[in-house]
Amino acid sequence: MAVTAPLLRAAPEDAVILAGFDLPGFGLAGPAAADDRATAVRALERLICDCGRYGFAKAHVLHPSGWAERVAEALGTLPSVSPRPMVEARAASAPLAGLAAIAEGRTDRLMVLFGPAPVEANWLAILDHQGPSEAGAVGLLPCPDTGRGLAFGLAGGLALPAGAGGAAPGLCSLAVLDCTALRAAAGTGDLGAFLTHLAAAHRLGGWAMPAATGPRASAILPLRPERPALFLDRDGTLNVDFGYVSDPERIVLLPGAAQAVRRANDLGFYVFLVTNQSGVGRGYYREEDVHACNAALQRLLRAEGAHLDDIRYAIDHPDAAVRRGDGGWRKPEPGMLVDLMAHWPVDRARSLMVGDKTSDVDAGRAAGIAAVKVAGGDLDAVLRPLLEARAPGVLQAEQAEGSPNGEGAEGEAANGEAANGDMAPQFGR
């Protein structure tokens, strides 16, 4: 049975990168980063690239005037990667003043990245930690030295000012903040004081982030580190297959679909969509309709704290009236998977292709990827043991102890049977 996504608050469309400000307690965003130009430029490039893969339409780079050259260098040398957000650089006298200016006239939320070190944990997971009465939430990394500056405790899902009780304090790595609260705070002080005020008023959610969130910023930081990938079919796997789905309103998630994508995100996988769309080649609908449907799918997933890193689709078909010359992209050919792996550093040995048709399994096998055929039931329940067995080490251990997605299927799927009995995965290599 199909289920629609719950009426959740939409994920932020814009992210703000704080670059070069002296922010005590926020890691390396201050002078420590500014001392090394090459490191600062590379870290900024990485954060912008990550904004694209998390589905942000726009990345605002907020910086003091003294950082204008560094920001210009980063934007000038930014590789032509896709997906890539629109980027706007803005000088500001202080972070809070700059955030308030970006929030002017808006009623949504902003994702705020304190940088410059990359955040390897799933950014969108922070959305779980902002309650309906809270003005935002902060992601906290372990802080053994609370003397470094601003820190927060954590109790009952709320961030508390350091010393006010709760779990061991942590330092901010990222935040999600309501634009209305940012506008109201304009001219009232610095960002640290603003966040502390929200915490003292019990209006700031808190997220204890995984302890190991990736490498520190450096001049040789990879823009896209190697990861295992989850390749997913669309219609019939993630959403209901009504037959030649071309209306975004008919993108209806299947049970466990968003949870499975979220689990892969949380475990450190790249997640790619690979979908045959022969309806374009047959003349039933346009490529613009494919883009609109994929965008609707991404919105539904992001509202659940999940995201697709990149998308490929094939329009050709032997009976196509319109041809683009996809060159072996249509499944069961492996072209879409091969192209994604040419643009992303994928660990093939730990990757997985999942779909509801034999052609999906054949495409995975042809690309050298383990493949699973699924049909009906809860997608997350069947994929959980398969993903956890392939996940990067640290995140694998932490997610196995307790996933925000709740309890899934127990044990390994073996002999072609899923633990819940509703799905029968069929493997191919």
Instruction: Point out the residues that are catalytic.
Output: 233, 235
Give dist(CA 193, CA 221) in Å, integer: 32
CB count, 10 Å around CB of 225? 17
Give dist(CA 239, CA 250) in Å, integer: 9
Backbone φ/ψ region at 319: left (φ over 0), alpha (ψ -120 to 50), beta: alpha
For the CA atoms of 55, 223, 230, 238, the dihedral, rounded to the nearest 10 degrees, stands at 10
3-class DSSP assignment, residue 54: coil
CB count, 10 Å around CB of 14? 21
Asked if residues 107 and 164 have their Cβ atoms less than 8 Å apart, the reply is no
Asked if residues 115 and 171 have their Cβ atoms less than 8 Å apart, the reply is no
Q: Count Cα neighbours of 306 within 13 Å in the Cβ-side half-sphere.
A: 28
Is omega for the bond preceding 332 within 30 degrees of 0, making it cis?
yes
Strands 152-155 and 158-161 turn out to be antiparallel
3-class DSSP assignment, residue 160: strand
Asked if residues 318 and 357 have their Cβ atoms less than 8 Å apart, the reply is no
CB count, 10 Å around CB of 400? 12
Whose CA is closest to 313, among 230, 410, 231?
A: 231
3-class DSSP assignment, residue 226: coil
Is omega for the bond preceding 404 within 30 degrees of 0, making it cis?
no
φ, ψ for residue 274, nearest 5 deg: -130, 110
Q: How far is CA 422 from CA 3, 20, 234, in A?
A: 16, 52, 19
DSSP single-letter state for residue 23: -
What letter represents residue 26's amino acid?
A: F
Burial of 411 from C-beta contacts in 10 A (0-12 / 13-18 / 19+): exposed
Maximum CA extent, the chain: 69
DSSP single-letter state for residue 224: S
